């Protein structure tokens, strides 16, 4: 999932639009984006290390993935000053990123159910509470 942190990573990149008061979603914004708070992904790793009954692969994602458009609009609710939220057409992103544009246009509805069934509880299961924690001043 997209790891959200105060100190860099995806959130910093999303918020860095120098000179433009715009937050962008991609195309229609309907693609599913799994995400996770840095605190939860760190706890998840330790949970897997200290529990000897844990085996296999787990997705590092929150239990509540959102669409790219909702992700962007929710971020906008927690920043000041607010920005214009607008979609960027696929052909423009393709011109800028080339074949890598697929990364932001593909949906990924990965599930956290396996780690939750193993007993892991998220501190930040919802995007709003994660962003409030990360972006509140």
- Tens digits of per-residue pLDDT, 59-100? 999 999 999 999 999 999 998 889 999 998 988 888 888 888
Cα distances (Å, whole numbers) of residue 121 to 22, 41, 65, 126: 35, 11, 16, 12
pTM for the predicted model, two decimal places:
0.89
Judge whether residue 19 has pLDDT over 80: no
Which single residue is written with the structure tokens 């960027």? Answer: 88
Tell me which H or E stretch contains 46. helix 38-50
Q: Which residues contact 60 (CB under 8 A, 6 or more apart)?
A: 1, 3, 36, 41, 44
pLDDT band at 137 (very low <50, low <70, confident <90, very high): low
**Six-digit token pair at 105?**
């246009």
**Residue 103 contacts residue 2 (beta carbons within 8 Å):** no
């Amino acid at each position: 999932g997209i790891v959200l942190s105060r100190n860099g990573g995806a959130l910093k990149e999303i918020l860095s639009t120098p000179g433009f008061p715009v937050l962008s979603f991609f195309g229609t914004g309907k693609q599913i984006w799994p995400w996770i708070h840095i605190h939860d992904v760190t706890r998840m790793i330790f949970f897997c290390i200290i529990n000897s009954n844990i085996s296999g692969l787990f997705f590092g994602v929150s239990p509540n993935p959102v669409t790219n458009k909702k992700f962007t609009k929710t971020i906008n609710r927690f920043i000041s000053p607010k920005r214009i939220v607008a979609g960027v057409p696929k052909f423009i992103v393709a011109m800028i990123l080339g074949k890598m544009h697929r990364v932001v246009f593909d949906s990924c509805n990965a599930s956290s159910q396996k780690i939750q069934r193993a007993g892991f509880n998220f501190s930040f299961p919802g995007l709003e509470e994660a962003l409030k924690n990360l972006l509140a001043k």
